[in-house]
A and B are shown apart, each in its own frame.
Chain A
């Protein structure tokens, strides 16, 4: 595991320059739909200061900065460490800034008693963090890649999730716990640097599972997880967006609700539900289809809170549109989409005009050279929407 982890760091050090990247990832010339996301144009991100200010209800002179995802996470961690002495940040390699730079500068400013490296043991990291939280601290444990959270699964499922329940009247709990982890595909992560295990955590009462789609969302959701939440939070960060997703983000601290979905775009004909990286693909697919079919109006919802999730917002939307598509990177069977689809079927049965469609990773592992055909792409989302409308 160590050797593999290190080689990944080397791979990142050899990351192509922007020009090379653009060339290397350019779609075949015949592609009309599956084109690289232009992050400087997508509606998912706040492309202007005005957009950011209005989204957060700020005044016209409120300061906003152009920030990427890892920068926003760093800002949230910085604010938390500065605001509350009980906040700790630890994991593998976090002291120098972390392998994705999320903790850059923090150990210099707050000291290695609060921002520190642990030995290389995921079960140790999470067990240690649970103990810190049980005594009232607010530990932020980092698991270097979501793919390596499984050694800590017993600590998360059997301990963190059940701690308050089994303690009962003693008042003991580990509500201050946050476990952060990079997740999702990144182009070349293969089996152990691409996984999105969120659905495994949604089957465990007692844990909150949250995934942001953008820098401004990450900042608010992470700050809420650390400083406001009294429940253990699994905070998943789509790593392909760490540098790619840039937008205007309010400079002052703020929180976002950990139990609410967000309607990103209203529509009357079809509801798409997704979260994290695939939202950008959904947005591109919607744009293509609405351009093709005059008068078509599709609603796009970011689930954000993967569990406990916001049933009410989803049901309200599907009751309006009568059709639903759910998109996520992780595999089809028992994915988040399965839960959303079953709930829609239960609650909006009489309104459904078509079966709920799911666009997900196939039932296989994220093999290196097959990623392009495995994870949901713009074409597959476009096709699912079209077939749902034509049903």
Chain B
């Protein structure tokens, strides 16, 4: 009689191409599958997310937006994995994957419109800040309930597979689904991976293991070998990767995408190891539950932006002057879009009632009239109505 003791098993290895000093340590895989120009763009995209984070964090502190979540330390996972996707691939995000959107072409203006919930926001002002979405880029709008997107991603991937069976002219597509290691404790994670395996769905699950779910550290989240060890139990091809190594993340994603589409399709699980150097959100002070020195060590020692920069400098495609120019121009662009978005009106009040169903119901039509009546009767009580595009007229 032999019980298998998980503590006695060897931990799954972490795939890495480039070390913390920007040196290539795995020559079996060519990081130069992308051009210098592409790699430079990844770097600029990571910088964009990082600079945006600094500016918006301060803006929230000044009360100019209601909420913000930075993704410091995890830019490499987002940008690297997104660089391996095609425009037709479909993405489901959690909330700390701004880099996926930026890499896919989401503009600063689109981001600012969402953060300020103004009339240009795709989400029509209905979602909290950082709940981005884009129909054009095939990125579904982020929702707050954790892990709900994971079984949805399985179903979406099955739909893409069926649609290709129906019409072979449709290009092969996968779904990329992102979540944190805390969200992996939700029941939806279990449901999703199981059905993705039994129905052979072309989906790549990307788990950002950054060591914390708000204040809860990994040792309070699970006792097994991370999230990757679970993939095998569902019959899913799984790999663990160094989340601070953008080359490794990208190569893993390229391979995962290829495998997901082979034969009758199948799901893949990627666990990207990282560290959340920031507070969870603007509503959290993380030094209440972890030492400041711990964070500073990670910041100084290793992060995806620093690591890629070292590699680029060794290769001679980046230098101090380029760094200063890039930071200055990105910062300027961010501040420009910030300033512009802050001045734009809020969406029409009508948007409060639309899109609940495809059509506005008779019940809601009555309620719109009632709200209009109240605003007309008590103009002083509802004076902010002038900030909404079209004012009271949109309630007709």
Contacts and interface: CB of A to CB of B under 8 A. Distances in A.
A130 B152 contact: yes
Nearest to B144: A158
Interface in A122-143: 123-124, 126-137, 139
Contact of A124 (B92, B131, B165, B188): B188
B140 interface: yes
Interface string B140-156: 11010100101111111
Nearest to A177: B155
Contacts of B122: 167-170
B134 interface: yes
Given A113-B165, A166-B123, A128 B133 contact: no
A230 B175 CA distance: 23
Interface in A147-165: 151, 154-155, 158-159, 162, 164-165
A130 B155 contact: yes
A120 to B, nearest CB: 9
A355 interface: no
Contacts of B154: 124, 127-128, 131
Interface in A335-355: none
A167 B152 contact: no
Contacts of A151: 187
A142 to B, nearest CB: 14
A233 B157 CA distance: 22
A121 interface: yes
Interface stretch (B68-76, B308-316, B356-364): B356-364
Interface in B331-379: 351, 355-358, 361-363
A202 to B, nearest CB: 11
A166 B143 contact: yes
Contacts of B121: 168-169
A364 to B, nearest CB: 29
A167 B140 contact: yes
Contacts of B190: 121, 124
Contacts of A134: 140, 152, 155-156, 159
A175 interface: yes
Contacts of B159: 131-132, 134-137
A329 B292 CA distance: 59
A141 B199 CA distance: 15
A164 B155 contact: no
B263 interface: no
B188 A308 contact: no
Contacts, number: 169
A372 B24 CA distance: 76
Nearest to A116: B199
Interface residues of A, number: 50
Given A118-B195, A159-B145, A168 B155 contact: no
B39 to A, nearest CB: 30
Given A158-B145, A169-B135, A124 B195 contact: yes
B60 interface: no
A205 interface: yes
Interface string B179-210: 00000000110111011001100000000000
A305 to B, nearest CB: 10
Interface string B151-180: 111111111101101100000000100000
B357 A118 contact: no
A155 B148 contact: yes
Contacts of A205: 356-357
Contacts of B163: 135-137
Interface string B296-307: 000000000000
A127 B148 contact: yes
A231 B198 contact: no
15 contacts: A113-B162, A116-B199, A121-B195, A127-B154, A127-B188, A128-B192, A131-B158, A159-B152, A166-B133, A168-B123, A168-B355, A169-B122, A169-B124, A231-B357, A308-B361
Interface of B: 90, 92, 121-124, 126-127, 131, 133-136, 140-141, 143, 145, 148, 150-160, 162-163, 165-166, 175, 187-188, 190-192, 194-195, 198-199, 351, 355-358, 361-363
